[in-house]
Chains A and B, each alone.
Chain A
Amino acid sequence: MKTQSFFIKAALACSVLIGLNSPAFAQEPPVRIGYSMSDTGPFAMASQEQINVYNMWKDEVNARGGLDVAGKKRPVEFVEYDNQSKPDQSVRIYEKLITNDKVDLLLAPWGTPFQISLAPVLEKYKFPVVGNTAASVAVRQMHAHYIWFPTSAVPDKMAVALTEMMKKNNVKTAAVISNILPFTKEIKNYLDPQLKKAGITVKYETEYPPSIKDMTSIVTQVKNAKPDAVLVLSYPSDSILFEKQASEIGISSPFQFVAVGPSTAAFRQAVGKAANGTVTLGHWSPDRPEWKGAKAFYDDYVARYKYEPDYLNAPLAYMSLQILEQAVAKVGLDKEKLRQTISTDTFDTIDGKVKFEGVENVITPTAFLQIQNGKLQIVWPESIATSQFQPKTHP
């Protein structure tokens, strides 16, 4: 008898202790958030920053006591599947997440082709998703109602802004070299007529395949053409290749634009001082105090991953999470109410205010970054600039 009562007391004491130690949201069921990601395959490298940001956000939210679901805090749980870098596989996974796993919310996969192929699934199941790392004129043309894109780096608008920025900096001649992959090809298609309209003469142009391993002949010809501006429409690995060989052979054009890559820490680590002066795509900076949380996002990312976030994809992924979080806090998990809120409200993000008209963010302007003393600064447009454009000098 005595032992029995001892055990009962001990059990009671234990349960009280467990109760004291467990977080406040222990009673609330978790919000299950599903997504598919290119964990393996050719896009595994490119989707890394987005995975990092998703994981960081989840831990942050749980540390804050959970996700605010219309006033009630609930812990966040991810349901994640690898799409092997195949858009069709990704589509099947999202169908499964919706119909079989019955997740509460969805996050976007990495990249334009994946987010475009996701749109019809979302229409079918009336499930809203805030997109992020997709930028193409095609997203505007598909008239989707359940996906939105916070990016402002859409090729047609970018071509206009880049040409305007060049004119402002007295560019009269240019060399254009472009990778034949879809995003850079799209930029080139919109850029060509803009350059013509602005009276900028293209002295040299060529295309190259993504498998390129040596740019000696391209860079030599760019050097010989002596243009005011070099526009390199490239992807991350060929961006590094170009920059290294350009500094080896010595290109002295004062305006050098390299499309995708320079916004990553890996680029600056690989190229070092030669990267200074390079202009690239991007509309975010941790140094605009009115963008609440921008600096904290930067600091947390660096503390957690030990390198700087990509100024393009990482903030975009985080913006999509912030928009979703704010919408859920307001209306809860009801899909139709979420769709309504996301398509009409204005959201506060680490990249300033965001408001969607159709699928597009109409507040964030198309902007460009420049590497100055190893640091990325917004140099265009003036309304959000953190520094002035500086002509590139060849060491």
Chain B
Amino acid sequence: MSFIEVLSSSQILFAALLTGAIYAIVAVGLNMVYGTMRLLNVAHGDIVMIGAYAAYWLFTQLGIPPVASMFVVAIFCALIGAALYKLLLKKMLARPGDVPHLEARSLLLFFGLSLLIQNLVVSLQTATPRAYQYMDHVYRISNLAMTGNRLLALLVAFFLCLAIAAFLRWNIFGLALRAVIERTDAARIVGVDVERVHLISLVIGFGAAGVAGVLLSMMEQFSPFMGFSLTIAAFIVVILGGLGNIAGGFAAAMILGAIETYGVALTSPNMRSILIYGVFVLALILLPKGLFHKRFKK
């Protein structure tokens, strides 16, 4: 494909937007949890996996379509987040220690949790990869062909991003959340209930991850081990966008989706990892605080 053909292809644009939108809703939870609590949640991709399995079982066993079950799954994953906070994280956060210590401890905790979740799902559901068919009617708009499920995934992911952005912009809890990300101590002094903000960020982050799982399950085959590569992609997005910078994360996710899709179309599919990690390494060297550091610094 020539350069012009690639750039003018609506099919590739659609693929880029979809990839980016999925990255965005996976990464937002990771970013919030890191931003508010300085916890490195390497089990984040496994929450997406739980979402995918939940959607699969609700659909194939109970006949609840993903378009409805995504609400149930979001609540379920949000509850996992809440339970995790009450049972494990609250105690860990209360313990004295500086940020690097907390990051190291959280890394170990979530790594263990990730192994635990994966193998729990393997023992409950076996490692057999799963997939199902849902909304695979093809819609055509001139040259662009879209399967119903991919179109739905794009719309839901965009809507969720907008909803989270609006929440952070206008809702009082959203404002508190941003305040905690920027200056935890200052937020505490002016009366922000930091613990509640922690809980909210986990609930929203895990809920969004659950929805991402539902969307992915409609489109591709998944297994108990699907989470790891998503966690990695989310980390790249979060670091590109700036740790704790939610809006920057959304933008970085779209950029990563575009790099991946257009880069592959212009070069070769074998270049995918080189492109993604190449950009990542370059960003770390040239803009270690993320692409949007200056713009969002107050």
Bound-complex Cα distance A218 to B261 (A): 11
**B1-A221 in contact (CB<8A):** yes
Per-residue interface assignment for chain A, residues 307 to 345, with 1 indicating a CB less than 8 Å from any chain B CB and 0 otherwise? 000000000000000000000000000000000000000
Q: Which of B103-111, B142-150, B166-174, B236-244 contacts A (4 or more CB under 8 A)?
A: B142-150
Q: Is the CB–CB distance between B269 and A272 below 8 Å? A: no
- In the assembled complex, which residues on chain B have CB atoms less than 8 Å from the CB atom of A89? none
- With known contacts A247-B136, A248-B138, A269-B133, A44–B220 Cβ distance under 8 A: no
B6 is contacted by which of A40, A48, A212, A217 (Cβ under 8 Å)? A217
Is residue B119 within 8 Å, beta carbon to beta carbon, of the partner chain? yes
* Complex-state Cα separation, A214 to B126, whole angstroms: 26
Query: Is B270's CB under 8 angstroms from A45's CB?
Result: no
Cβ of A206 within 8 Å of any chain B Cβ, yes or no, is yes
Check A213 against B19 for contact (C-beta < 8 Å): yes
Contact, CB under 8 Å: A211 / B272 = yes
Closest to B225 in A: A42
Q: Which residue of B lies closest to A216 (CB)?
A: B15
Asked whether, in the complex, the Cβ of B12 is within 8 Å of the Cβ of A244, the reply is: no
Check if A365 is an interface residue, CB within 8 A of chain B.
Answer: no
Asked, given contacts A44-B225, A248-B145, A250-B138, whether A206 binds B269 with beta carbons under 8 Å apart, the answer is yes
* A240 and B1 within 8 A (CB): no
0/1 interface trace, chain A 154-193, chain B, CB 8 Å (1 if under): 0000000000000000000000000010000000000000
Compute how far the CA of A209 lies from the CA of B261 in the bound complex, rounded to whole angstroms.
Answer: 14
Q: Does A356 touch B at the CB level, under 8 Å? A: no
Indicate whether A207 sits within 8 Å of B12 (C-beta atoms), given known contacts A44-B122, A217-B265.
no
A207 near B270 with CB under 8 A, answer yes
Q: Given the complex, which residues of A lie within 8 Å of B269, measured CB to CB?
A: 206-209, 212, 215, 217-218
Question: In the assembled complex, which residues on chain A have CB atoms less than 8 Å from the CB atom of B261?
Answer: 214, 216-217
Q: Mark A8-39, 1 if CB is under 8 A from B, else 0.
A: 00000000000000000000000000000001
On chain B, the residues within 8 Å of A47 by CB distance are: 127
Q: Which residues of A contact B122 (CB under 8 A)?
A: 40, 44
Q: Say if the beta carbon of A371 comes within 8 Å of chain B.
A: no
Shortest Cβ distance from B129 into A: residue: A45
Q: Which secondary structure characterizes the binding site on chain A?
A: helix
- Closest chain A residue to B115, Cβ basis: A40
Interface size range of chain B in the complex: 35 or more
- Encode contact with A along B134-160: 1 for CB under 8 Å, 0 otherwise: 001010000001110010000000000
A294 at the interface (CB under 8 A from B): no
A302 within 8 A of B: no
B272:A236 contact, CB within 8 angstroms: no
C-alpha spacing A207/B19, complex, angstroms: 21
Contact A249 B220 (CB under 8 A): no
- In the bound assembly, the distance between CA atoms of A226 and B183 in angstroms comes to 59
- For window 191-234 of A, CB contacts with B under 8 Å fall at 206-209, 211-218, 220-221, 224
Could you give, for residues 31-60 of chain B, a 1 whenever the CB lies within 8 Å of some chain A CB and a 0 otherwise?
000000000000000000000000000000
Q: Tell which of A213, A220, A247, A250 touches B220, judged by Cβ atoms closer than 8 Å.
A: A213
B264 touches A266 (CB 8 A): no
**A216–B19 CA distance with the chains assembled, in angstroms:** 11
Known: A44-B122, A241-B220, A270-B132. A217 touches B145 (CB 8 A): no
CB pair A214 B260 closer than 8 Å: yes
Contact assessment for B11 and A244 in the assembled complex, using a CB-CB cutoff below 8 Å: no
Question: Is B219 within 8 A of A45, CB to CB?
Answer: no
Q: In the complex where A216-B261, A221-B1, A240-B131 touch, is A209 in contact with B146 (Cβ < 8 A)?
A: no
Q: Is the CB of B131 within 8 A of A249?
A: no
A107 within 8 Å of B (CB atoms):
no
Q: Closest Cβ of chain B: how far from A181's Cβ, in Å? A: 12
Task: Tell me if B133 and A271 are in contact (CB < 8 A).
Answer: yes
A244 to chain B, nearest CB (A): 7
Tell me, yes or no, whether B223 is within 8 Å of chain A by CB: yes
Contact A45 B223 (CB under 8 A): yes
Cβ-defined partner of B219 (8 Å) among A44, A244, A269: A244
A290 to chain B, nearest CB (A): 31
A212, B133: Cα distance in complex, Å: 20
Point out the residues of chain A lying under 8 angstroms from B229, CB to CB. 211
In the complex, A237 has a CB within 8 A of chain B: yes
Closest approach, in angstroms, between the C-beta of A154 and any C-beta of chain B? 25
Counting chain B CB atoms within 10 Å of each CB, the highest count among A45, A180, A271, A272 belongs to A45
CA distance A21 to B20 in the complex (A): 64
A40 adjacent to B119 (CB under 8 Å): yes
Q: Kindly state the separation between the CA atoms of A250 and B137 in the bound complex, as whole angstroms.
A: 12
* A48→B126 CA distance, assembly (Å): 8
| B interface with A by C-beta (< 8 Å) | 1, 6, 9, 11-12, 14-15, 18-19, 119, 122, 126-133, 136, 138, 145-147, 150, 219-221, 223-225, 229, 260-261, 264-265, 268-270, 272-273
By Cβ-Cβ distance, the 5 closest A-B pairs, closest first, are A270-B131, A208-B269, A217-B265, A216-B15, A44-B127
Report A's interface with B, CB cutoff 8 A. 39-40, 42, 44-45, 47-48, 180, 206-209, 211-218, 220-221, 224, 236-237, 240-241, 244, 247-250, 266, 269-272, 274
Q: 5 A–B contact pairs at CB < 8 A?
A: A213-B260, A216-B15, A217-B1, A250-B138, A266-B130
